[in-house]
Amino acid sequence: DAGITQSPRHKVTETGTPVTLRCHQTENHRYMYWYRQDPGHGLRLIHYSYGVKDTDKGEVSDGYSVSRSKTEDFLLTLESATSSQTSVYFCAISEFRAGGGGTDTQYFGPGTRLTVL
């Protein structure tokens, strides 16, 4: 498995509290992604990063912000958690290969299970 860790692995919090999830990689890959996984919806992209301090929104970015101050770390913040943000959150990384055509393989972290009461 690629060197990707996520912390915490489990978290229970209350509505209205801020929450930060961390993704750390040791692969020096350029691209990092945050997904949420919910039954019946597969994996939905929240935000992604294509370099230090370079981020962009995904399909379900409302209520989430991200930061990437170092290549190896990508943080996902829920400024004020809501029950609808109860989910499993996965971080992924990829390294585009020149001439490879389109997106590259994504390697996923172990996930963080977040429950918002």
Q: Which residues bind other proteins (CB under 8 A)?
A: 31, 33, 35, 40-45, 48, 50, 58-59, 90, 92, 94, 96, 101-111
Q: For residue 50, give both structure tokens.
A: 């294509």
| Nearer to other proteins (CB atom), residue 40 or residue 62 | 40
Q: For residue 25, give both structure tokens.
A: 């990689």
Least distance to other proteins, CB of residue 81, Å: 22
| Nearer to other proteins (CB atom), residue 20 or residue 57 | 57
Least distance to other proteins, CB of residue 43, Å: 4
Least distance to other proteins, CB of residue 11, Å: 17
Contact between 103 and 45 (Cβ < 8 Å): no
| Nearer to other proteins (CB atom), residue 48 or residue 78 | 48
Length of the chain (residues): 117
Helix (H) or strand (E) holding 39, with range, is none
Residue type, 53: K
Least distance to other proteins, CB of residue 20, Å: 20
Q: For residue 8, give both structure tokens.
A: 């915490």
d(CA 12, CA 107): 26
